[in-house]
Chains A and B, each alone.
Chain A
Amino acid sequence: MKILVCISHVPDTTSKINFTEGDTKFDTNGVQFVINPNDEFGLTRAMWFKEKQGASVAVVNVGGPETEPTLRKALAIGADEAIRVNTEAVDGFAVAKQLAKVIEDGAYDLVIAGRESIDYNGGMVPGMIAALTNANFVNNCISLEVEGTNATATREIDGGKETVTTSLPLVIGGQKGLVEESDLRIPNMRGIMMARKKPLQVLEPIVTEAETTSVKFEKPAPKGAVTLVAPDNLDELVSLLHNEAKVI
């Protein structure tokens, strides 16, 4: 089985979110970038398929050279090879088209992407690559088993979960549950050394048009201070929630 894991290069959760150039660009100054958490769960599940079922695992990112350390980290975790499509990730549809080209050229059986990136939160790339490559698709995927060309997956639905059967080629939008937080791997020194020697192929992009354009960013209005209520004065809290906040 040939697996491709799509890796988004995102600011670490604890990063300060600021914007530059008249609030049109994310300010990367002093920001630590990581593998998108939803993608990391998928990458770790891919390692299981590699170790238990002999799958090959490639990782891919659409982005500039600055994303390579993130791809090297994925190689250090255990992916066999990396691909970077050398273009700025301007919108979800454009990224999906670049990835679809990589998937078709590489004839991957299983594509694992995260349900959404934690920066732009578009949540659209997995479904779009499935539609573009005519593969089956399971979103919000919290477990995945593959036997031959048959797959069994569980997806989270509002208020519960459902189990589905489908077949390869398959794209999933993965999340926590594919593996647990405790299963995530920190690259060890040997992994890091080996990652330096693994292939990282840079591909030139295909021509796409941006279906959407980011115009400007805004930060939410600063929050007012918390109103504290004494623990022996909970009538006050009920009254505030009813009369002031109007939520009960």
Chain B
Amino acid sequence: MSVLVYTESEQGKFKKVALEVASYAKAVANQLGTTVTAVTINTSDASALGNYGVDKVLNVTNTQLNTFNAKAYADVVKQAAEKESAKVVIVSSSADSKYLAPLLAVGLQAGYATNVVEAPSSTSPFTVKRTAFTNKAFNMTTINTDVKIVAVSNNSFGLVENSGSAAAEEFTPTVSDFTVNVQSVDKASDKVSIADAEIVVSAGRGLKGPENWGMVEELADVLGAATACSKPVSDLGWRPHSEHVGQTGKPVASNLYIAIGISGAIQHLAGINASKVKVVINTDPEAPFFKAADYGVVGDAFEVVPALIEKLKAFKAQQ
């Protein structure tokens, strides 16, 4: 009856979202008066999960699962849920988790709620708060089925430490042959991704050309941030599509979002609204983005950004 959480890892290490969903699972388990079981795939050391409230870990070690496969991974989580007789399954909102969870929902005949931002407001009926209308509203949703799946919105619940230790157990589910096969992966390994970043530095057409992105990258470096861009910038080919954030691009839910030379079209705001603190740097005091921002600087990016980089370097040196 324990709460099952799928804790994702990359090259054997837990992603930050794995610790966040473990924290969330612990909160649900407390409400239900039960324990938390995590299922991990090809993770060498799962002990970190104990610090976030996990009581038991099902370790799956299988070289066939070295590359992510949504169907196979969904099958693994399904078998873990059945083994534990779990009534609640928690996943993250990573691209991989949102890929596998609908398959899992069909497999477990489970009601599935995505973009959930808080612990359940009640467990009977099981009611969660989720974002809808691309962050322009919240929707209280009740899951009516016996088994329930919750996808927690990234960076919404946070990490909650619990002193404890997780008992590890080997788990060997059956894995069927893949019918979707990865041929190649194109991923910058040295850069923090927009999905994982606590800080995102984003720039728009106000930068006038791709040759001016050096200062954006430098600002991101100083802050340990990911870089992003507005839709026109990616449409013009100044920056790769993978950096496009907004309604039709990637969603951003960082702690800090810095927008440079972006006017703040409604489609852009829809994609970045889930960020907690927004800073806008723009020459135009009438830019709509200032209405959505927490802090603003009305000024020329070509002067403000280099000056801000110097100030931040001095600040970091003091810390």
Contact surface of A with B, Cβ cutoff 8 Å: 11, 13-14, 17, 19, 37-38, 41, 91-93, 96, 118-128, 130-132, 136-140, 142, 152, 155-167, 175-177, 180-182, 209-220, 223-224, 226-231, 234-235, 237-238, 240-242, 245, 247-248
Within 8 Å of chain A (Cβ to Cβ): is B304? yes
Tell me if B132 and A212 are in contact (CB < 8 A): no
Chain A contacts of B107 at CB under 8 A? 131
Report how far A214 CA is from B249 CA in the complex, Å.
Answer: 27
Report how far A98 CA is from B5 CA in the complex, Å.
Answer: 30
Q: Is the interface of B mostly helix, strand, loop or mixed?
A: mixed
B99, B186, B270 interface centre (most CB from chain A within 10 Å) = B99
Given contact pairs A13-B270, A124-B112, A212-B143, A234 touches B304 in the complex (Cβ within 8 A): yes
Report how far A128 CA is from B95 CA in the complex, Å.
Answer: 16
Given contact pairs A140-B99, A227-B294, A157 touches B179 in the complex (Cβ within 8 A): no
Within the complex, what minimum Cβ distance (angstroms) separates A112 from chain B? 16
Cβ-defined partner of B144 (8 Å) among A124, A180, A212: A212
Chain B contacts of A223 at CB under 8 A? 291-292
Residue of A nearest to B180 (CB): A166
> What are 16 A-B interface contacts by the 8 Å CB criterion?
A91-B111, A119-B133, A124-B101, A158-B196, A162-B187, A166-B181, A176-B249, A177-B241, A212-B141, A228-B290, A228-B296, A228-B298, A238-B312, A241-B256, A245-B277, A245-B295
Tell me if B179 and A37 are in contact (CB < 8 A): no
The 6 closest A-B pairs by CB, nearest first: A127-B102, A160-B187, A159-B193, A231-B299, A211-B111, A131-B106
Residue of A nearest to B290 (CB): A226
Q: Is the interface of A mostly helix, strand, loop or mixed?
A: mixed
Report how far A131 CA is from B249 CA in the complex, Å.
Answer: 26
Tell me if B184 and A220 are in contact (CB < 8 A): no
Tell me if B193 and A248 are in contact (CB < 8 A): no
Chain A contacts of B267 at CB under 8 A? 13
Within 8 Å of chain A (Cβ to Cβ): is B134? yes
Given contact pairs A164-B182, A218-B138, A127 touches B199 in the complex (Cβ within 8 A): no
Residue of A nearest to B278 (CB): A226
Tell me if B137 and A218 are in contact (CB < 8 A): yes
Chain B contacts of A91 at CB under 8 A? 111
* Chain B, 47-77, CB within 8 A of any chain A CB: 70-71
